[in-house]
Chains A and B, each alone.
Chain A
Amino acid sequence: MQSISHVAGRAIPFGRKNVDTDVIIPAHWLKTITREGLGRGAFEAIRKEPGNIFDDPEFTGAPILIAGDNFGCGSSREHAAWALLDLGVTCVIAPSFSDIFSGNAFKNGILTVVLPQEAVDRLLEVARTETIDIDLETQTVTTPFQDRFTFEIDPFRKHCLLNGLDEVGLTLAQDTVISGYEARAGRELPFLTGAVTAATA
């Protein structure tokens, strides 16, 4: 996983509320067996609207997306995170995110920044013309107009993002702890943890 400590550049002032994952990447784009190339399908329906923000050359390749409340609601498709990455987006700012989406974003090295609605509104305004700067180490979002907003982030997620750590590798290193659980649960809850076999007819 790519490490991330600082994101700076133009931010797509999207701002829409309740953007579901079908909007981020429609289902017909899920028929892929790789993670690449999904940017072409990102926000497909919105990009059919004339003058839409995603096709504005001003924001081509912008690393930041500013969205409204409940961003990423709906399905668990990780393709939503892959599509954003393929667009070049590595940070999304919104007043709130769906649980599954923020987890998927984190696992792909996308920083999700939760800020109050007033702060998001201000950034939406600034982003029209200026760049935005996000620093993960200090947990701050700043603008050329001296705006400064701080955000909260789970310390473990911060640590992993800053160091580009792979969660699977970290957990595999805990093999003895997992084996310990399996041995204990195998005695106490064998019907759950024991080997699953089919009844013979």
Chain B
Amino acid sequence: MKSGTRAPNRTIIMTSKPRTLYQKIWDAHVVDTRDDGTSLIYIDRHLVHEVTSPQAFEALRVSGRKVRRPDLTLAVPDHNLPTTARVDADGAMLPIKDVESAQQLAALQKNAPEFGIRYIDAIDAEQGIVHVVGPEQGFSLPGATIVCGDSHTACHGGLGALAFGIGTSEVEHALATQTLLLKQSKSMEVRVEGRLGAGVTAKDVILHVIGVIGTAGGTGYVIEYRGNVFEEMSVEGRLTVCNMSIEGGARAGLVAPDDKTFAYVKGRPYAPRGAEWDQAVAWWKSLATDAGATFDKSVVIRAEDIEPTVTWGTSPEDTAPIGGTVPGPEDFADPSKADAVKVSLDYMGLTPGTLLADVEVQNVFIGSCTNSRIEDIRAAAAVLKGRHKADNVKWAIVVPGSGLVKQQAEAEGLDRIIVEAGLEWREPGCSACLAMNPDKVPAGERCASTSNRNFTGRQGPGARTHLMSPAMAAAAAVTGRLTDVRELMG
């Protein structure tokens, strides 16, 4: 392999021609550049969970390799854990019934200490979905390069980090070398400006964006979300938006860090402290895209055009405003998309022309790395307060993103509102986002879901997923059908 010699001698903090936020983070992390345009990029934070890591640890063990920076690595189980009671009366962990799930958890419990990695166990208060835990612990930081063997790692971009999902071989590479060999992506700006209407949340914004750009619209790009809508959005809202960048094909999405970000990060357990904090903030402030920097692609959306949004098909780009109808194959000019729509509607059991607000749901899932933070739980509880789920809704669960979110929600009394409304209040985990643990949607039934993917079989074989915001999912629980949350707002 050819190694360049320029990069190692270059000082990290550079001033040059106008650069984007992405370019600045990239430049600060180049370890080495090869002649073919690929670069060795330093990884500041590596999050590990039980599903995509066993084969990476196994490979390290076989080749006698170590983890280069265990202190920059954090492991936590999330995908496989049941969300029902996790401990017995004595506080001991209840065994996981599913043999394979138990085996994956056991592998992580063994691998983390063996390789000296910090580990949060299934029954620790800090346990949660890896993408909720990273920001919550102050482990994920603005300006950092963050990876995890999970495509929703883009989530951490909400803090202004360059964060992206990797496969298991890259997990092994990052563990062994604390670097990844990457080719720089093109840059894409998604600018949303104007005023969001009542009941329109971060989730509606990102669903709308994916509807506009399509699931391959961001392939090969890193997206920077810009404009007053993202500036005014809470940090948790930005995490929701960036989380679903991959659903638009982009491996990473990010929002420039600002005072709101710094306030969010400050004081968290692994956040910088003292003089390092001041040094960090000074650098983070320098990261915003320079005036005059250019993007390879630009998409501009008016905030006023975004309504509470739901999906009707089996691709995250199949979005429609809740006031709309189910489209038909003839509504799509591209013949292969028209064919896909036909298959999709058949799977979803929907007839073109049906009012979305007439579609009944039997299940409601509020949770996932996209929407399980405290603001999400509050938004759902605000709709559920003093109401009760409809009789046709058989299964409705609210799954906090972490043990700390759970504690906070309980301190605010949100769990009582949820339970009184007839929904279940669960233990933290990935839950019904993907059919890997006991939380599944039965075949042929519909689920109003705050997760990120409506793929065929994603929530269980034959399950029919409609993606939406926490407030919209709560509204669906109350009425038993897809519902415009604005009808329930006071």
Residues in B with CB closer than 8 Å to A173 are: 1
Residues in B with CB closer than 8 Å to A192 are: 44, 141, 143-144, 280
**Min distance, Cβ A66 to any Cβ of chain B, angstroms:** 15
Q: Tell whether, in the assembled complex, residue B36 and residue A20 are in contact, meaning their CB atoms are under 8 Å apart.
A: no
Question: Given A96-B216, A100-B166, A156-B34, are A199 and B273 also a contact pair (CB < 8 Å)?
Answer: yes
Listed stretches A2-10, A76-84, A123-131, A140-148; interface member: A76-84
The residue that A68 contacts in the complex, of B51, B246, B277, B336, with Cβ under 8 A, is B336
Q: Which parts of A155-170 form the interface with B (CB within 8 Å)?
A: 155-156, 167-170
Give the distance in Å from the alpha carbon of A104 to the alpha carbon of B315 in the complex.
22
**Min distance, Cβ B304 to any Cβ of chain A, angstroms:** 30
When C-beta atoms are compared, the residue in chain B nearest to A20 turns out to be B455
Residues in B with CB closer than 8 Å to A196 are: 71-72, 139, 270
The residue that B12 contacts in the complex, of A26, A108, A189, with Cβ under 8 A, is A189
Q: Which parts of B349-371 form the interface with A (CB within 8 Å)?
A: none
The residue that A33 contacts in the complex, of B58, B176, B246, with Cβ under 8 A, is B58
A122 at the interface (CB under 8 A from B): no
Main secondary structure of the interface of B (DSSP, over half): loop
Q: Tell whether, in the assembled complex, residue A74 and residue B453 are in contact, meaning their CB atoms are under 8 Å apart.
A: yes
B22-47 interface code vs A (CB 8 A; 1 in, 0 out): 00000010011010101010101000
Q: Tell whether, in the assembled complex, residue A17 and residue B36 are in contact, meaning their CB atoms are under 8 Å apart.
A: no
B151 at the interface (CB under 8 A from A): yes
When C-beta atoms are compared, the residue in chain A nearest to B247 turns out to be A74
Give the distance in Å from the alpha carbon of A194 to the alpha carbon of B71 in the complex.
9
Give the distance in Å from the alpha carbon of A73 to the alpha carbon of B12 in the complex.
34
Q: Tell whether, in the assembled complex, residue B457 and residue A45 are in contact, meaning their CB atoms are under 8 Å apart.
A: yes
Q: Tell whether, in the assembled complex, residue A28 and residue B173 are in contact, meaning their CB atoms are under 8 Å apart.
A: no
Residues in B with CB closer than 8 Å to A199 are: 267, 269-271, 273
A184 at the interface (CB under 8 A from B): yes
Q: Tell whether, in the assembled complex, residue B11 and residue A188 are in contact, meaning their CB atoms are under 8 Å apart.
A: yes
B side interface size, CB within 8 A: 87
The residue that A27 contacts in the complex, of B12, B315, B434, with Cβ under 8 A, is B434
Q: Tell whether, in the assembled complex, residue A73 and residue B456 are in contact, meaning their CB atoms are under 8 Å apart.
A: no
Give the distance in Å from the alpha carbon of A20 to the alpha carbon of B32 in the complex.
33
Q: Tell whether, in the assembled complex, residue A189 and residue B283 are in contact, meaning their CB atoms are under 8 Å apart.
A: yes
Question: Given A76-B150, A167-B169, are A189 and B270 also a contact pair (CB < 8 Å)?
Answer: no
B407 at the interface (CB under 8 A from A): no
Q: Tell whether, in the assembled complex, residue A193 and residue B44 are in contact, meaning their CB atoms are under 8 Å apart.
A: yes
Q: Tell whether, in the assembled complex, residue B270 and residue A198 are in contact, meaning their CB atoms are under 8 Å apart.
A: yes
Give the distance in Å from the alpha carbon of A107 to the alpha carbon of B168 in the complex.
9
A37 at the interface (CB under 8 A from B): no
Q: Tell whether, in the assembled complex, residue B455 and residue A193 are in contact, meaning their CB atoms are under 8 Å apart.
A: no
Q: Tell whether, in the assembled complex, residue A103 and residue B336 are in contact, meaning their CB atoms are under 8 Å apart.
A: no
Residues in B with CB closer than 8 Å to A53 are: none
- Extra inter-chain contacts (11) besides given A96-B216, A197-B71, CB under 8 Å: A28-B435, A31-B104, A33-B58, A34-B55, A70-B249, A104-B167, A154-B38, A171-B177, A171-B181, A172-B65, A198-B270
* Interface residues of B, Cβ cutoff 8 Å to A: 1, 3, 8, 11-13, 28, 31-32, 34, 36, 38, 40, 42, 44, 51-52, 54-55, 58-59, 63, 65, 68, 71-72, 79-80, 98, 100-101, 103-104, 107, 139, 141, 143-144, 149-151, 153, 165-170, 172-173, 176-179, 181, 183, 185, 215-216, 219-220, 246, 249, 251, 267, 269-273, 276-277, 279-280, 283, 315, 336, 340, 434-436, 453, 455-458, 461
Q: List 12 A-B contacts (CB under 8 A).
A: A30-B436, A33-B54, A68-B336, A76-B153, A96-B219, A104-B170, A107-B167, A155-B36, A182-B42, A191-B276, A192-B143, A193-B44
